[in-house]
Amino acid sequence: MLTLFVSLSLSLRPRSRLLWWVKRGLLVVCVIYVSVPFMMRLFPDIIKHLVYSHRVSVPFFVNLSQPADLYLNHTVNMYLKSEQGISLGVWHTVPESQWKEAQGKDLEWYQDSLGAGIPIIIYLHGNGGTRAASHRVGLIHVLSAIGCHVLALDYRGFGDSTGEPTEVGLTTDTLYLYQWVKARSGSSLVVLWGHSLGTGDASSILHSLKRMKSRLLILHAEDDHIVPIHMAQQLYEIAQSAQNSENQVKMIPFAGSLGYHHNGLYKDPHLPGIIREFVHTLAP
């Protein structure tokens, strides 16, 4: 009888331990489920940071007012006021072929150059960091090298721009820059280039301008670990259906073996030719 009792107690002990861990696991889940809404109400800045990561000023120790320090020596830094109390830091890079002519020129010369009939690309970057992040500077170099003007801004709350980011605020900033460029571009073609978070702002602008029928080029790396390739494919199919034309929407995937992930498409040697061809199809 004694032996039987001992055996039963030993066999039940692991089960009781498992039950103990299950109960506490459920308790932790319940606490998290209940506390998260309160945390969001009490500390909204935490959620805002998770979405925008705008306080991460990467790279460190970079003077955004001196783009020449990043070998953008045909670039001017300027500040635009998108609305009362909001100052936006913006770089304007002229085509690489004009780098000698651009030396020592003032802001007025840069603005006047927008109306010369050369394509203009407004670059809307993703969340985190500033317009000086290495992959963003790399893309600016690529776009400038193929003969385009590039205007890259830091949204409100990013980089040296003032204010705090919101969905409406970012759209306001982007729309302001677009209208500022259009007022100075004459007959020059203006293209929106959105990356990651910036694709949402580009779409919002097109919606605001009632231009959702514009041509669309989707570039996506198959090994993108932040935005999976299947999401780009879904967007492509939706866009095709909305445009009701295969010629208006084009998607080019980049093989995962290239290792471009989320930010590395600017490294692809075929990218300049892809952009030139696309811009050519937009020419009036």
Residues 112-135, buried b or exposed e (16+ Cβ, 10 A)? ebbeeebbbbbbbbbbbbbbbbeb
Query: Among the options 49, 141, 261, 262, which is catalytic?
Result: 262
- Please pick, among 49, 87, 160, 196, the residue that the annotation labels catalytic: 196
Cα–Cα distances in angstroms (integers) from residue 221 to residues 124, 129, 251, in the given order: 18, 21, 11
204 catalytic residue (yes or no): no
The question of whether 268 is a catalytic residue gets the answer: no
Q: How far is CA 248 from CA 188, 231, 241, in A?
A: 20, 19, 10
User: Which residue out of 154, 201, 224, 268 is catalytically annotated?
Assistant: 224
161 annotated active-site: no
Catalytic site residues? Answer: 196, 224, 262
